[in-house]
Amino acid sequence: MKRLNMTNKIMISMVLGMVVGLIVGPAIAPVKVVGDIFLRLIQMSVVVLIMGAVIEAVGSLDPKELGKLGGKIFAWFMGLTALAAALGIGLGYIVKPGAGLNMDMGATAIAASEQTLSEMIVGFFPTNIIDAMAKANMIQVIIFSILFGLSLSVIGKQDKDNVVLNFIRHFNVAILNVVKMVMNLAPIGIFSLLAWVTGTIGVKVIIPLAKFLGSMAIGTVIYMIFLIFISAAYAKVSPVRLAKHLWKMTVVAFTTTSSAITLPTKMEDSEIKLGVSKRISRLVNPLGMALNSNGLSLYLSLACITLAQFFGMEMSIIELVRIVVLSTLACLGTVVVPGGGLVALATVLPAMGLPPESIALLAGIDWFSGMFRTVLNVDSDALVAMMIAVDEKELDYDIFNGKKVISSSNS
């Protein structure tokens, strides 16, 4: 008998959890303890995981690339990721996936923030990084990590060994292994949490989840159309031809739900189909995998709005701005591990005053939402690479238009 992969195990545990919850009812409540332990195991590594990922990604850059070119890349990454987060909020309020459920998990309504916008922005910058880590203030942690990574990049020019950066790389491998070990427990944790949720709430929870997936699908289509047209206009090329060139990497991303697995295809097609130079493609695409996740940003903001609706919570304008900022900055620490979306949720939800237990509601459909997330994550990297190539005059229009053909072996 063929061994089940993690995706199938999670899907089976989701179905079993719902069935058992419906059969047993509220008496299933004690099983929540197991799910709570699973969530705590995820949360215990999340700060150092994201911190290490950002430091390594920024610290690995050549200092020469951190000037004008690095600024352009970072501006595109941040701008597009923030727009995706804003779209997620908009879809959440238009579709209202979680409206009408009015769940109660002991959560309290989010109080309207009395902070001004300027006070919130000042609060992004830490006065004590240890305190920021202890309180899991991810915005402060990520900003510190970017600055620390920049410092290591400069040191790397003077010291080729760069002992600190090498230590962080090895440390990241160890932390990733911890996360992978914890994610092996995901079927048990998700079964426990969904059995508890379904036993407490009943079948009413299924419809909002379907609406959430529908919102993700709609958001992916809208944002892909936007990205293709803005990129085509920027490069002065045919949007139809551009869409065709993206097709292969889109299919690989959608079916594997893995940015890491899709990376070779993305780099190859950027060079032999889009006409992006090797220099730009091999800088932007790997960096984008760590720092540019439009699909994840859309997912996180939509998830926050959906879960707030689940619990009947109201959010102020300041809270909505905070969601955009958190969703954007959380994508700087994207980690390519199974269940990466759940790890990111564990970062953002507590910061927005949403109960960590609510992760269970979206965990069962994470594989499906991961399809849409990965498509946006992958395609946006390739399109940013193309636009940067236009700026640097390193886009080969003959390759893009099919007048010149190069093989993958020469790319």
Torsion of CA 284, 290, 294, 298, to 10 degrees: 180
Going from the C-alpha of 150 to that of each of 25, 70, 159, 392, the distances in angstroms are 53, 11, 14, 23
Contact criterion met (CB below 8 Å) for 358 and 310:
yes
> Span 346-357, mean pLDDT?
79
The CB-side HSE value for 79 (13 A sphere, CA atoms) comes to 9
Per-residue pLDDT at 381 exceeds 90:
yes
Q: What is this structure's pTM?
A: 0.73
Q: What is the tens place of the pLDDT at every residue in 215-228? A: 999 999 999 999 99
Structural domains in the chain, CATH included, are: 6-401 (1.10.3860.10)
End-to-end CA distance of the chain: 41
Question: Range with the lowest mean pLDDT among 34-48, 70-84, 387-401?
Answer: 34-48
Contact criterion met (CB below 8 Å) for 250 and 375:
yes
Local confidence band at 9 (pLDDT 50, 70, 90 cut-offs): confident
Question: Range with the lowest mean pLDDT among 100-109, 261-270, 357-366?
Answer: 100-109
Q: Identify the residue with better confidence: 61 or 27.
A: 27
Q: What is the tens place of the pLDDT at every residue in 130-153? A: 988 887 776 788 789 888 988 998
Contact criterion met (CB below 8 Å) for 392 and 276:
no
Cross-strand pairs, 276: 395
